[in-house]
Amino acid sequence: MDFTVLTLFPELVDSFFKHGMISRGIDKRLITGHCINIRDFSTDRHKTVDDRPYGGGSGMIMKLEPLQAAIYCAKKNAPDSKVVLMTPQGNTFSQEKALELAFGNKGLIFVCGRYEGIDERVYTKLVDEEISIGDYVMTGGELASMVIIDSIARLIPGVLGSLESPESDSFTNDRLEYAQYTRPEEFEGEKVPDVLLSGNHEKIRLWRKRSSLERTFLKRPDLFKKNRPDAEEKKILNEWCRELESFAGE
Ligand code: SAM
């Protein structure tokens, strides 16, 4: 998977490509990470990339031509890539979208805006998809692109270390991840559940499933609407209900 970020602040994203899981993925040649400075494609003497909005109003708008040239350059280097514009007005990013982007594309080109935004014709002529990372407005698209690259890269087989796995992560199959513990066995009177020390794999699997269901029910019940409980999950939830009823009746 090739990640290319078009930005006016490449140093922000360059350092992200040089650390942690992303840099290990690059070293293993499972992903690539490049930045393109949009300003390099400005053709005037002052390297201008923004201009005043037609119709008046506050702030500056990113000009069309340098962005177009930067996108064409990125596409030349990674021809099968999808062009994704970072904008608070786009489709909201999610784990589902991360999976779709990770396995549906050879590469992704992220266009990061700054100032008041981008000339409308970039949206209509040069971009395949608009994505937002949430209903709030940031100063630039760089953080948004890094959020998205991080969550996609960890899904690509081999990028995470052999001891880590995205399979039980929250939002996979629309459930939250089960409770996790490590040493010490007891902390300020709170003990690690006995079953996790039992070595019985089937009991541990069932305990984790129940923990995941309980957490999803308590913290994000909306996820059950997206993916209804299967037969085993229903059985576990019914058991839990019976326990709660008998507890309430005591
Ligand atoms: N005036 C624009 C609007 O109201 O839609 C917001 C412009 S914002 C100050 C500058 C840039 O930050 C945007 O062009 C976009 O690239 C990026 N950005 C801000 N918030 C974002 C979000 N929630 N998701 C993705 N990108 C965002």
CA separation for the pair 143, 117 (Å, rounded): 15
Annotation says 14 is catalytic: no
The alpha carbon of 75 and the centre of ligand 1 are apart by a number of angstroms equal to 23
The pLDDT assigned to 249 comes to 80
> Is 165 a domain residue?
no
φ and ψ at residue 111, rounded to 5 degrees: -100, 115
**Among 160, 150, 153, residue whose Cα is nearest residue 16:** 150
* CB contact at 8 A, 57 and 104: no
Calculate the CA dihedral of residues 188, 192, 194, 198 and round it to 10 degrees: -140
pLDDT tens, 224-246?
Answer: 999 999 999 999 999 999 999 99
Residue with tokens 């999803």: 216
With a cut of 80, say whether residue 250 has pLDDT above it: no
- The amino acid occupying position 238 is N
Asked if residue 33 is part of any domain, the answer here is yes
**Model pLDDT, residue 132:** 98
What CATH number did the domain enclosing 56 receive?
Answer: 3.40.1280.10
Q: Does 217 map to a domain?
A: yes
Say if residue 103 is in the same domain as residue 19.
Answer: yes
* Whole-number pLDDT of residue 161: 82
Active-site option among 154, 166, 175, 233:
154
Domain annotation covers residue 159 = no
- Catalytic site residue 245? no
Task: Judge if 37 and 88 occupy the same domain.
Answer: yes
Residue 20 lies in a domain: yes
- The answer to whether the CB of 88 is under 6 A from ligand 1 is yes
Residue 166 pLDDT: 85
Work out how many domains the chain is built from and give that number.
Answer: 2
For residue 118, the ligand 1 atom closest to its alpha carbon is 14
Same domain, 54 and 143: yes
Q: Which of 169, 174, 177, 214 is an active site residue?
A: 169
Range of 62's domain? 2-153
Residue in the block written with tokens 């629309």: 174
Question: 141 in ligand 1 pocket by Cβ < 6 Å?
Answer: yes
Q: Is pLDDT at 38 greater than 80 in this prediction?
A: yes
- Average pLDDT of the segment spanning 187-196: 98
- Same domain? For 86 and 16 the reply is yes
Domain co-membership, 17 together with 77: yes
Q: Which of 96, 118, 153 is the last residue of a domain?
A: 153
135 C-alpha to center of ligand 1: Å? 10
Mean pLDDT of 6-32: 97
For the Cβ of 8 lying below 6 angstroms from any atom of ligand 1, the answer is no
User: 175 pLDDT band (50/70/90 cuts)?
Assistant: very high
Q: What is the pLDDT of residue 247?
A: 87
Pocket flag, ligand 1, residue 153 (CB < 6 Å): no
Clarify whether 129 is annotated catalytic. no
Both 33 and 127 in a single domain? yes
Mean pLDDT across 201-226? 97
Q: What is the CATH number of the domain that holds 184?
A: 1.10.1270.20
Mutate to test the pocket of ligand 1, among 126, 138, 145, 148 (most ligand atoms within 8 A of CB): 138
Is residue 37 within 8 Å of residue 49, measured between CB atoms?
no
118 and 7 belong to one structural domain = yes
Give the residue-averaged pLDDT of 5-13: 98
90: CA distance to ligand 1 center in Å? 9
Percent of the chain with pLDDT over 90: 94
Q: Is residue 158 part of a domain?
A: no
Separation between Cα atoms, residue 97 and residue 245, nearest integer Å: 39
How far apart (Å, rounded) are the C-alpha atoms in residues 45 and 47? Answer: 6
Whether 248 has a pLDDT exceeding 90, the answer reads no
pTM of this structure: 0.94
Mind listing the pLDDT tens digit for each residue in 71-116? 999 999 999 999 999 999 999 999 999 999 999 999 999 999 999 9
Mean pLDDT (whole number) for 148-174: 90
Does the C-beta of 140 come closer than 6 Å to ligand 1?
Answer: yes
pLDDT of 162 above 80: no
Question: What's the sign of the alpha-carbon dihedral 164, 165, 168, 174?
Answer: positive
Does residue 91 line the site of ligand 1, with CB under 6 A?
no
Based on the domain organization, do 148 and 212 belong to the same domain? no
Of 103, 118, 153, the position where a domain reaches its end is 153
CB of 25 within 6 A of ligand 1: the answer is: no
pLDDT of residue 163: 67
Locate the ligand 1 atom nearest the alpha carbon of residue 133 and give its number: 24
pLDDT for residue 68? 98
Task: Among 119, 153, 187, give the residue marking a domain's end.
Answer: 153
* Residue 122 confidence (pLDDT) above 80: yes
